[in-house]
Amino acid sequence: MNRIPLDRQKESQAIEVRVQFGKEKNFEAPSYYTPIQPVENFRLMLEGKVPFWMPTDEDTFTIIPRIIPDNVARGYVMDAEPLALEENGGIDMFGIEWEYVPTVGGSMVKPGNPKVADICDWEKIITFPNLDDYDWEGSAAKSAPYLEKNRDKLIETWIFNGLFERLISFLDFEAAAMALLDEEQQEAVHKLFDKLCNFYDDLIGRYQKYYGTQLILFHDDWGSQRAPFFSLATCREMLVPYLKRVAESCHKRGMYINFHCCGKNEMLVPAMIEAGVDMWIPQSMNDFDMLVKEYGDKICLGSRMSLLPPETPDEDVVAAATAFVTRYKGCTRVFSSGAMFARTNPAMAKLMREVYFQTREEYNKLA
């Protein structure tokens, strides 16, 4: 692919303002001229090639449809009809009640009264939803004008409550953790995860069919602030085979998987790679530089940009961008995360543009 030199003046121009889906409300954001479409640039990184610039979450368009009860229950809908605050929470697809906590911007299952007391009995208690019951056509029609306007970006859809999180929602945390270790319970967990994979495969196919989804963010937290919830060996035995099936559900359709996995999980990255995960954005308690050095050729890693005060002088913004780009010089499988802050913080908006300009020049040299 021919490399086009940076034209800072031309690529500084906002060619239009587009509506983007937001959690509390939809918002407008500028769209800039780029030498290739952002979705093409993202694919270059995902396929191990040199992009034209460092991909960023600005280059994605996220839809999390309200027709899926899990999204409402978790308090995270992003589509043509955002949720009002009082709508967050409620019953998910599997009949579990979630309580929305405004101070943390998310939901949790009320502990102490699990739907399943013994995982060995889950088949008698848990009813899997019928995805035909949801108004896919109606949802797709409402969001279609926004999606069509943003087909030059990577369309991303989230799946909440992956494997371990789903187990927690049924059992509460302590019992879920024990179920991964107890030989008498492991067979039941394997059966549950097997059926969940079939369900997720159907769901992923519908996301592609109705919204044109290209990237699935699969939500399954594996750790706390200090350490993973389980060992690498347990992860490989109990979770990797099924996460791999979810990844294969994406890959067989030409889609990618972004693994949302909070916690200090750096020791579990080999499991993510073995499962076929394409992307992971580690939280700050992880050793990002080590991850890039050890695994940067096997998985795309998202770097969370440091938050600048809104009044930061322009020269300090440029210096921060230079430090950021220099830190990852030569590594073309790192992408940046910071678009959410750029919506209301002018310094962060300038930082993201400056990183774009500097990586345009740096990646042209690498290519």
- In DSSP terms, which residues pair with 158 in a beta bridge? 217
71 domain residue, yes or no: yes
83 domain residue, yes or no: yes
150 domain residue, yes or no: yes
Span 310-364, pLDDT tens digits: 999 999 999 999 999 999 999 999 999 888 888 899 999 999 999 999 999 999 9
Res 110: pLDDT: 84
Q: Over 80: is that where the pLDDT of 1 sits? A: no
Res 156: pLDDT: 98
pTM above 0.75, yes or no: yes
Strands 60-62 and 27-32: unpaired
Res 74: pLDDT: 96
136 domain residue, yes or no: yes
70 domain residue, yes or no: yes
236 domain residue, yes or no: yes
Res 104: pLDDT: 87
Span 135-171, pLDDT tens digits: 999 999 999 999 999 999 999 999 999 999 999 999 9
pLDDT band for position 105 (cuts 50, 70, 90): confident
Strands 154-159 and 106-109: unpaired
d(CA 123, CA 160): 21
- CA torsion 212-247-48-63 (nearest 10°) is 30
Number of domains in the chain: 1
pLDDT band for position 120 (cuts 50, 70, 90): very high
pLDDT band for position 9 (cuts 50, 70, 90): very high
213 domain residue, yes or no: yes
Write out the H or E segment, with its range, that includes residue 29. Answer: strand 27-32
Res 25: pLDDT: 92
DSSP state of 232: H
41 domain residue, yes or no: no
Res 190: pLDDT: 98
Range of the domain at 258: 64-304
CATH number assigned to the domain comprising residue 180: 3.20.20.210
Other C-beta atoms within 10 Å of 287: how many?
A: 12
**What residue has token string 């050793």?**
287
Q: What is the mean pLDDT of residues 52-70?
A: 97
Res 37: pLDDT: 97
